């Protein structure tokens, strides 16, 4: 694994310390947690309901592994979004590199604060002091406490990291972009960042639903967690688009002003010549008015969001997929099966 950089986010920096490839480290972490669970199960006696045992105890390790698996994709999406600004910013290569290094540099203190807040949140929700720690249950309790601390610490950090990078991308979009309102293809990586992050969050929610028990899905703790994750997904998507939308809207407004100015000038000139019966050059003015009117209509029809209806459709379908999984998990219990 590459040498640690000051611009690396906390998770990347920690994974690099293992000196193993990313996915080897991920597999090692997953294996250690799984062995911890198996050891807890054997020391406490083989459970009679093996399916229920695995479902109720695999949620945290599966989600931890999921986060470790998908984060490199998130990191690459962010890098592509950053590079999408290169042809849009009126600065030299060196200045662009300094600017992107500045907006990408993490605040390590706040990253650790996010981790601690997530761990504290897990303790407040789980209330481990109320768990049965006597007899052979202490190892189960330790397993659930450790995995909950890891999972919620990672989740809180992921929310912070995603919001942090989204807001830093917004800084780049406020640097006076040279936008062509008729060609938004250069903005595709920014749209892919927002959509990709949202889809990965929805995927995590959908995966977690598979391991939820009926009792767990009814608890206020679970409802609170999913409400936070869904709100974070929607917020991250629109925040990632909003700053670019404002830049596109500002560019469109400027182009509209130019077109309206030229159209008005050509119209007034044509009107004055018609009043004075000066027929010379009126055909050219009429053609100019038609051209500027067409341009004005095209500018008004130009998009002001860095995505198209298909992007929204994919996000909606992914959320619906998570909803369908929830309904599938709920209906058998509602019908008494």
Helices (H), the chain: 10-16, 22-43, 50-57, 59-84, 93-104, 108-126, 137-173, 188-210, 214-218, 220-275, 282-301, 309-334
Q: What is the pLDDT of residue 237?
A: 75
Q: Is the pLDDT of residue 134 over 60?
A: no
Token pair 């929310």 is found at 159
Q: What is the pLDDT of residue 154?
A: 93
Mean pLDDT of 239-255: 79
Model confidence pLDDT, tens digit, residues 277-291: 766 767 787 888 888
Mean pLDDT of 94-122: 86
Q: Give the residue, 175 or 249, on which the prediction is more confident.
A: 249
Q: What is the pLDDT of residue 26?
A: 93
From 48-52, 96-100, 263-267, 331-335, the region with the lowest mean pLDDT: 48-52
Mean pLDDT of 308-334: 68
Neighbours of 60 (CB within 10 A): 22
Confidence of residue 332 (pLDDT cuts 50, 70, 90): low
For 277, left (φ over 0), alpha (ψ -120 to 50), or beta?
left
Q: Which residues of 193-231 are buried (b: 16+ CB within 10 A; e: fewer)?
A: bbbbbbbbbbebbbbbbebbeeeeeeeeebeebbeebbe
DSSP 271-315: HHHHHTT--TTHHHHHHHHHHHHHHHHHHHHS--SSS-HHHHHHH
What do you get for the CA distance between the two ends of the chain, in Å? 50
Q: Which of the given ranges, 54-63, 133-142, 215-224, 247-256, has the highest pLDDT on average?
A: 247-256
Separation CA 297–CA 155 (nearest Å)? 46
| Mean pLDDT, all residues of the chain | 79
Domain boundaries, the chain: 10-255+302-334
Confidence of residue 49 (pLDDT cuts 50, 70, 90): low
Q: Which tokens go with 237? A: 């998507």
Mean pLDDT of 20-45: 84
Backbone angles phi, psi at 132, to 5 degrees: -80, 105
Residue 329: Cβ-neighbour burial (10 angstroms; 0-12, 13-18, 19+): middle
Q: What is the pLDDT of residue 163?
A: 84
Q: What is the pLDDT of residue 44?
A: 65
Q: Is the pLDDT of residue 57 over 60?
A: yes
From 13-17, 78-82, 232-236, 309-313, the region with the lowest mean pLDDT: 309-313
Whether residue 190 contacts residue 81, with contact meaning beta carbons closer than 8 Å, is answered with yes
Q: Is the pLDDT of residue 256 over 60?
A: yes
Mean pLDDT of 259-268: 86
């Amino acid at each position: 694994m590459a040498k640690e950089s000051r611009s690396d986010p906390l998770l990347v920096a920690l994974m690099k310390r293992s000196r193993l490839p990313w996915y080897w480290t991920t597999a090692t972490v997953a294996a250690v947690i799984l062995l911890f669970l198996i050891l807890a199960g054997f020391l406490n006696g083989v459970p009679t309901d093996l399916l229920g045992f695995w479902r109720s105890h695999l949620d945290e390790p599966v989600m931890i592994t999921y986060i470790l698996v998908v984060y490199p994709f998130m990191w690459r999406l962010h890098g592509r979004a950053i590079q999408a600004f290169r042809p849009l910013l009126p600065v030299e290569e060196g200045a662009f590199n300094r600017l992107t290094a500045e907006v990408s540099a993490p605040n390590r203190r706040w990253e650790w604060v996010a981790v601690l807040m997530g761990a504290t949140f897990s303790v407040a929700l789980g209330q481990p002091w109320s768990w049965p720690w006597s007899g052979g249950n202490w190892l189960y309790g330790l397993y659930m406490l450790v995995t909950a601390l890891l999972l919620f610490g990672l989740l809180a950090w992921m929310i912070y990291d995603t919001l942090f990078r989204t807001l830093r991308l917004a800084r780049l979009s406020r640097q006076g972009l040279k936008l062509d309102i008729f060609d938004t293809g250069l903005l595709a990586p920014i749209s892919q960042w927002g959509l990709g992050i949202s889809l990965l969050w929805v995927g995590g929610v959908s995966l977690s639903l598979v391991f939820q028990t009926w009792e767990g899905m009814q608890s206020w703790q679970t409802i609170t967690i999913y409400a936070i994750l869904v709100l974070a997904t929607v917020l991250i998507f629109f925040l990632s688009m909003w700053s670019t939308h404002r830049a596109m809207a500002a560019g469109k407004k400027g182009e509209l002003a130019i077109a309206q100015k030229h159209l008005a000038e050509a119209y007034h000139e044509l009107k004055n010549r018609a009043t004075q019966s000066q027929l010379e050059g009126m055909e050219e003015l009429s053609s100019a008015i038609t051209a500027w009117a067409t341009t004005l209509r095209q500018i008004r029809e130009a998009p002001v969001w860095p995505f198209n209806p298909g992007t929204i459709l994919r996000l909606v379908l992914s959320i619906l997929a998570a909803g369908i999984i929830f309904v599938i998990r709920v209906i058998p219990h509602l019908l008494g099966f």
